[in-house]
Every structure is written in structure tokens, then in C-alpha cells.
Amino acid sequence: MNCCRRYLISGRVQGVAFRASAQGAARGLGLTGFARNLTDGRVEVVACGEFQRVKQLESWLQQGPHWARVEKVVAEEMVEQDFHDFEVC
């Protein structure tokens, strides 16, 4: 079963290669979507693909890359979207 989820990640998540690392993790799981910085200091990640793989990425987002300090991850379901790759915006 496929799904799309949107994540808002708070903490020290900008300037620590969070988006590029999320891209690598998502592509490794065969997911599509994007990661982008928000002006309020959070990172937004949208991930689409097989449900269990999206949940695996969600677990990764709770930790992030070595240099990040994730304080909070808010997740919400989305209507499925047709992305062709996982991009960093």
C-alpha cells in the first residue's frame, strides 16, 4: 500500500546536511518527494511510497544525520502525489 506523509522537523536541522542526508535515506528506501528548509528554522520533508518504507524514513527523521539535533517531528497524512524522484529544494 502506498502513501504520502508530510513531516515538519524542529531542532538544529538547518546547516547540518539534514536535507541531503534525508534525500540519501529516502532514495535508499525507494521513496519520492522532497526536503526543504523553512524560514522558521524547521525542515519540511514530504515522502511518498510503500507505507513500511515511509515509516522507516520517519524513524530516520527522528534521529537525522550525526550533526543534527532533532527536537520534534510532526507527521501528517497527505493525498498521494506523483513525484518522480526525491529532491532537495
What Cα–Cα distance (Å) separates residue 22 from each residue in 9, 77?
A: 11, 18
Q: Write b or e for each residue in 9-32: b if 16 or more Cβ atoms lie within 10 A of its Cβ, otherwise e.
A: bbbebeebbbbebbbebbeebebb
Per the residue annotation, which of 5, 19, 42, 53 is the catalytic one? 19
Q: Are 17 and 70 in contact (CB under 8 A)?
A: no
Per the residue annotation, which of 2, 12, 27, 37 is the catalytic one? 37
For cell 529532491, name the residue. Answer: 87
19 is catalytic: yes
37 is catalytic: yes
Give me the active site residues, please: 19, 37
